[in-house]
Chains A and B, each alone.
Chain A
C-alpha cells in the first residue's frame, strides 16, 4: 500500500507542471553556482601554489644579509582551501587569505576580497551553498504546500482516506515524494562530492560524507515540516503563508538578528583601539626594565661586566628576549579578541535551536573549512611558524655574529634552515567539538519535524473521525 501511495504521490507531483519547472530552475541555478565556483576555485588554487612557490624562492634567494634584516623582510603565507570550500565559500571573501609574517609584529590577514567589490555584492551571489541552504527550502515549500491542505480543499483527502489508505502511509508517501523532488537538485552536489573524494590528493572522505548527510537531514527536515504544516492547516493559502513566513524568519531574520545581538553582547574593539593597545602595551618602560634585568642576569650568569665579553652576540639574545616579551602581549591581546569572537560564534551557533538554517550554515562552513574556526587554526599555525622563524634567525645572530670581523651576514644556508610553511587544514574529527551545538540542533530539528508530523497526523485522524 505504501508503495502504491508513493507512486501516486510521485505521479501527482510530476503532473502538476510547477514541480518540474521549479526543480529545473533550482537545478539550473545550482549548476551555474557550481560552475562559477569551480572555475574560481581552480584559478585560486593554481594562483596560490604559484605565488607560494615564488615567495619561497624569494626567501631563499634574498641574498646575504643580517639575520634580523631577513626577519624584517619576512614571508607572506597563503591560506590553502579544502575542495569543499568550492561548494561553500563561507567566510572566505570576508577574512583574507594572505598573512605577512615578520619581526616584532603579529599581523591580521590581508586583502579581504569583499573590499574590492561593489555594494551590490552584499545581496549575495549564487554559491552552491546559497542555493542549497536558502533556495532549496523554498522549492520544497512551493512544491509541497498543497500536499494535504490542497487535497482537503478539493475534497479528495477524505476520499483517499475512505478508500483505505492509512493516514500515516499517506504522510510518508507525500514526504517521500517531496523529498525525491528536492533530491534531484542534490544530484550535482553528490556527483561533485564523489568526484572530489576520488580525485583530490588530500581528499577528506569524512568531511564529504558528513557534508552530504547534513544536507540530507536539512532537506528531510524541511520536507517533513512542510507536509506536517500542510496537514495541520485547513487551506492551501494559509499553509503557503505560514510556510513562507517560517522560511523568511528562519533564513533571513533570525540569522541577522542573532548575529547583531551576538556582536552587541560580546563586542570586539575597533581596529584603531586594538592597534593603539598593541603599540602602547608592547613598547613600554616595563619592557625596557625587563630587557635591562635580562642583561644583568646574563652578565651575572657568565661572570662578565660587559656584553662585549659575552661568548655570544648580545644583540641576538636581546632580540629574542624582545620577541618573547612581545609574544606574551600578542597572546593576551589577540587571545582576548579571539575569545570575544568565539563567544559571538558560539552565541550565534546556539540560535540554531531557533533556525535550521543556522544549524546547516554552521555545519556546512565547518565541514568546508571556510568558517572562522578553521581560519583561526590557520592563523595560530602561521603565528607558531613566525615564532620559530624569528627564533632561528635570532639564535643564529646570537651564536655567530660575535665571530664575524665586520657586520655579520647570513646566507642561503640559514634561509634553508627555516622550513617552508606547509599548512594542512585539520581533520574534521579534531574540529568537530566546535560544531556540537549545531549538529545537535540539526538532529533536534529533524526530531521536531517528526513530532510536528505526528501531531498533525493525530489532528488528521481526529478530523476523519468527526
Chain B
C-alpha cells in the first residue's frame, strides 16, 4: 500500500511544473552556495600559505645573507637589521599565528569573515596585535555569505513548506480523501508518505549535490563529516516537514495552512533570532571599545611616563635578568618592560570583554532552543570550525605564542645588552645578536574537535517526535468513522 501511495504521489507531483522548479532550485542553490563557501575558505588558505611562505623565506634570507652582514663595514641602523634582536622584535619579525580553515569550512562561513584568522606577531602590546583584521567589504558582512548554511536555514524550509502545505488537505478539500478512506487507505500512512516524498524531493538532491561537492573538493572531508552534515540537515528538514504535517492535520484550508507555515518560518528563522539577539545585547551589553581605547591610551601614557619605575619593577619581577645588568636603561629593555606593564594594566579590561562574550554565549545557548534555526545554525557553524569555540581556542593559543615570543626576546635582549652587543664601541654597529631565525618560537596549530554538541540535535529529535505524536493523534481522528472532518 505504501508503495502505491508513494508512486501515485510522485506521479502527481511530477505532473505539477512546480516539482521540476523545486528540484532545479535545490540543485542550483546547493552548487552555488557550496562554491561560495569553498571560494571563501580557499581564499583564507591562500592567505595562510602566503604568510607561511613569507615566514620561511625570511628565515632562508637570513641564513643566506649572514656572511654578507658579518663583513659589512658601513653604518647599519638596528631597526633595519634582521640580525638584531631589537629590530626583529619591534619591526622586522616575520612570524605568523594562523588558523587554517577546516575541511568542513565551506559548509558555514559563520564568523570566519569577521574573526581574524592570522596575526603578524611583533613585540608590541597584545592589545595592538590582536586587533588586526582582514579587510572585507562591510556590506558583505552585513548581508552575510551565501553559503550552504544559508540555504539550509532559510531556503530549504521554504521549499519544504511550498511542497507540503497542501498535503492531505488537498485530498480533503477535493473530496478524494473520503474515497481513499473507503478504499482502505490509512490517513496516517497517506500523510506520512506524502510528507516523506515531498521532503525527499528537496532533501535528497540537496544532500547528494552538496556532499559530492564537499567530498570531491577536499580529500580531508571524510565520510564521517559527510554523515554528520547530512544528519544535521536531515533533522532540520524533518522538523519542517513534521511541522507542516502538524499544521495540515488541523484540517484547515490550504491557504490557511500556507499562511500558518509561512508565519512559523518567519517566527523561527527571522523574528525569534533577531529578537533574541536584541534582548541578548540589551541584557549583556558589550563594554565600549571607545572606552577601551581611552583606557589603553591612559595606561600606555602612565607606563611610559614612569618608564624608569616600570623598568625597576620589571627587574624586580625578573631578578634573574637583573643580576649583572649594568645598563638598565637601554631602549629595548625599557620598551619591553613598558609593554608588559601596559598588558598587565589592560588585563582587567580584556577580561571584561571575554566575560561578557561568555555571558552572551551562555544566553544564546539557553535561548537558541526557542528556534530550530538558531539550534541548527550554531551546530553548522561549530561543525565548520568557524564558530566562537574554535576562535577562542585560537586566540588563547595566540596569546600564549605572544607570551612565548615576549619571553624569548626579553631574555635574549637583556642578555645581549649585558654582553654589550648593542654598543660594542662608540659609533660602531651593533653585533649581530640573532644569527639564526629558526630559534624564534613558531606558532603551533592545534586541532580542535568541531563536532556539534549532540544534545542540541537530541532536542531537535525530541521536537520532531512530539510533532509526529500530535500529528498522528489528529490524523487518527480524521480517519475515525465519527469524524466530522472528512465530509465531502
Contacts and interface: CB of A to CB of B under 8 A. Distances in A.
Contact of A76 (B111, B259, B293): B293
A264 B136 CA distance: 12
Contact of A123 (B134, B293, B377, B388): B377
Contacts of B142: 90-91, 94
B50 A272 contact: yes
Contacts of A138: 266
A36 B280 CA distance: 11
B158 interface: yes
Interface in B9-53: 32, 36, 39, 43, 46-47, 50-51
Contacts of A58: 297-298, 301
Interface string A116-137: 1111111111100010001100
Interface string A372-383: 100100000000
Contacts, number: 200
A114 B114 contact: yes
Residue of B47, B145, B259 with most partner-chain A CB within 10 A: B259
Given A237-B254, A256-B143, A119 B294 contact: no
A271 B32 CA distance: 26
Given A36-B282, A259-B137, A119 B378 contact: yes
Given A114-B114, A236-B255, A98 B293 contact: yes
Contact of A114 (B141, B259, B292): B141
Interface in B268-309: 270-271, 273-278, 280-282, 286, 288-294, 297-298, 301
B353 interface: yes
Contact of B274 (A116, A130, A256, A337): A130
A241 B255 CA distance: 9
B410 interface: no
A274 interface: yes
Interface in B120-172: 120, 131-146, 150, 154-155, 158, 162
A235 to B, nearest CB: 7
Interface stretch (B357-365, B411-419, B428-436, B474-482): B357-365
Contacts of B282: 36, 39
B134 A271 contact: yes
A259 to B, nearest CB: 5
Contacts of A94: 138-139, 141-142
Interface string A65-89: 0000000000010100000000000
B102 interface: no
Interface in A43-62: 43-44, 47-48, 51, 54-55, 58, 62
Nearest to B389: A119
B130 to A, nearest CB: 10
Contacts of B36: 260
Given A91-B139, A113-B286, A240 B115 contact: no
A111 interface: yes
A32 interface: yes
A418 interface: no
B258 interface: yes
Given A36-B281, A240-B255, A110 B374 contact: no
A24 to B, nearest CB: 14
23 contacts: A51-B293, A58-B297, A94-B139, A95-B138, A98-B290, A110-B289, A111-B289, A111-B292, A118-B357, A118-B360, A118-B388, A241-B162, A241-B258, A256-B144, A259-B139, A263-B140, A270-B134, A272-B47, A344-B140, A348-B139, A371-B139, A372-B139, A375-B138
